[in-house]
Chains A and B, each alone.
Chain A
Amino acid sequence: MLKVDNLSFGYNSVPIFKNISFRVEKGSLCGLFGPNGSGKTTLFKCCMSFLKYNSGSVSIDGCNVKRKKIEELAKLVAYVPQEHKPPFPYLVKEVVLMGRTPHMGGIFGISEDDKDKVREAIEMLEISHLADRPYNQLSGGQRQLVLIARAMAQETPLMLLDEPTSALDFCNQIRIWNILKKISARGTTILACSHDPNHISWFCDDVIVMYRGGLVAKGDPKSVVSEQLLSTIFNDICSVGYMDHLMMVYPKNIQVGCPVAATNNSSP
Chain B
Amino acid sequence: MEELSTDVKVSTPTALNFFEARKLCIIFFLAFVMVAGGMVTICLGTYQISIAEVYSIISTHIFSPDIVDSLDKLENTIVWNIRFPRVIMAITVGIGLSVAGTIYQGCFRNPLVEPYILGVSSGAAFGAALGIVYPHIFISIQLGAFVFALLSVFLAYSLARSRGQTPVVTLILAGIIIGSIFSACVSIMKYLSNDIQLREIVFWMMGGFYYTQWGDVKLTVPVVLISVAIMWFFGWKLNVLSMGDEEARALGVNPEVFKFIFIVLATLVTAICVSSVGIIAWVGLMMPHAARLIQGPDNRFVIPTAALMGGVYIIFCDTIARTLTSAEIPIGIITAIVGAPYLIYLLRSKEKEIFG
Contacts and interface: CB of A to CB of B under 8 A. Distances in A.
Interface stretch (A73-81, A169-177, A217-225, A239-247): A73-81
Given A87-B110, A128-B8, A119 B250 contact: no
B249 A48 contact: yes
A107 B242 contact: no
A101 interface: yes
A134 interface: yes
Interface of B: 8-9, 12-13, 15-16, 18, 106, 109-111, 232-233, 235-237, 239-240, 242-244, 246-247, 249-254, 292, 296-298, 300, 352-356
A123 interface: yes
A89 interface: yes
B252 A71 contact: yes
Most buried by B among A86, A91, A93: A86
9 contacts: A48-B249, A50-B249, A74-B250, A88-B297, A99-B251, A101-B253, A107-B235, A108-B300, A119-B12
B72 to A, nearest CB: 44
A91 B16 CA distance: 11
A142 interface: no
**Is the interface on chain A under 10, 10 to 19, 20 to 34, or 35 or more residues?**
35 or more
Given A88-B111, A98-B239, A70 B253 contact: yes
B23 to A, nearest CB: 11
Given A87-B111, A88-B242, A128-B8, 11 more contacts: A71-B254, A74-B252, A81-B244, A85-B356, A86-B356, A87-B242, A90-B239, A98-B251, A107-B233, A128-B16, A154-B251
A48 B252 CA distance: 11
Most buried by A among B243, B246, B253, B298: B243
A98 B243 CA distance: 10
A94 B235 CA distance: 13
Nearest to A73: B252
B303 to A, nearest CB: 10
Interface in A129-157: 131-132, 134, 136-137, 154
Contacts of B242: 86-88
A257 B154 CA distance: 61
A184 B251 CA distance: 20
B292 A88 contact: yes
Most buried by A among B109, B236, B242, B250: B250
A122 B252 CA distance: 21
Nearest to A103: B252
Contact of A107 (B18, B232, B240): B232
B9 A94 contact: no
A87 B8 CA distance: 32
A71 B13 CA distance: 29
A80 B251 CA distance: 10
Contacts of A93: 16, 18
Given A89-B356, A101-B236, A128-B12, A48 B250 contact: yes
A107 B300 contact: yes
A94 B250 CA distance: 16
Given A88-B111, A90-B298, A98-B240, A123 B12 contact: yes
B168 to A, nearest CB: 8
Contacts of B296: 89-91, 94
B111 A94 contact: no
A70 B254 contact: yes
Contacts of A154: 251
A109 B237 CA distance: 11
A89 B354 contact: yes
A85 to B, nearest CB: 7
B356 A131 contact: no
B239 A94 contact: yes
A63 interface: no
Contacts of B9: 123
Contacts of B252: 70-75, 101-102
